[in-house]
Amino acid sequence: MNNAGNINQQVSELLLGASAKSLTAPKEFDLMEMPLEGVAAFWLSVKKTMDSKKKGDEFLLEEAKHTREPHVRFLLELAASSFSAKRCEELAQVRKKNILAELHRKYVLMAIGLLGIVSKENPQKVMIRFLSKFHIAPIFEKQVFEVAQLMLKNLDNAELNKAKFLNIDHKLKIEALIINLIFYCMLARRNGVEYLIAFQEYISSQYFKDGLMLINDGFDYDFVKFRLNLVKKEIIEATEMKMDLSMQMMSALKSGTPFADLYLIAKAFLP
């Protein structure tokens, strides 16, 4: 597996075997990254377009088709459905619960990886900590280390697509996130955390990048853990707030609420 020209294919095949079919989602409107004001503006613009062009369900479905943010797309589809506004809210709550649980788990995995780096823990122990968060392992340990070692071996290979394979992001599938986190744990153990700073350009997650900077600046395990937990909590809470705002706006659209009243809903959520 050391053919330089085929390194990307080799890594891709191993990831496929580990059931991680794609490492990243395409760049898109991300509910997590958009400020609360931006989320409110999006829904108000949808309502304004519906009112000005006398459009209804067909417009909402068309808007959903061109909206790449998964949760917002789902809410637009609900707004265009035959369900009552109350039923739409119930379904939105179910989806919100699932999304936040998955998001929380991904940030926990990132935190475990960073704490493994700051404590210079054996990556195999870090892997055990990862797997302890699942009732059924999402990926085999052997597959994780096989791919991570291949990436490590070919780190200086110009053929390796670093932007694709060295990323850390909440949009990654769980399997790919675990592999990449183990890769960084192995790299830090071999070369030191300061060596990882040079790879920040390939990392999408600001949470993970900030954690690396704290470790590189010499902060101890307890402080890094405290900071990671605090930021994780704030990220989840902010995302939940935007999901709740979106649900209320969707329900108002479904109920035919006037634009002025929709604006009042937005004001209730804004600081």
pLDDT tens, 119-173?
A: 999 999 999 999 999 999 999 999 999 999 999 999 988 888 898 889 999 999 9
- Measured distance CA(241)–CA(231) in Å, rounded: 15
CB 182 within 8 A of CB 123: yes
Share of the chain above pLDDT 90, in %: 78
List Cβ neighbours of 21 (8 Å cut-off, separation of 6 or more). 15, 173
CB 111 within 8 A of CB 228: yes
Residue 263 has pLDDT above 80, yes or no: yes
Q: Phi then psi for 260, rounded to 5 degrees?
A: -60, -35
Summarize the confidence of residues 70-79 as an average pLDDT: 96
- Measured distance CA(69)–CA(66) in Å, rounded: 9
Structure confidence at residue 57 (pLDDT)? 81
Residue 1 has pLDDT above 70, yes or no: no
**Who has greater pLDDT, 33 or 229?**
229
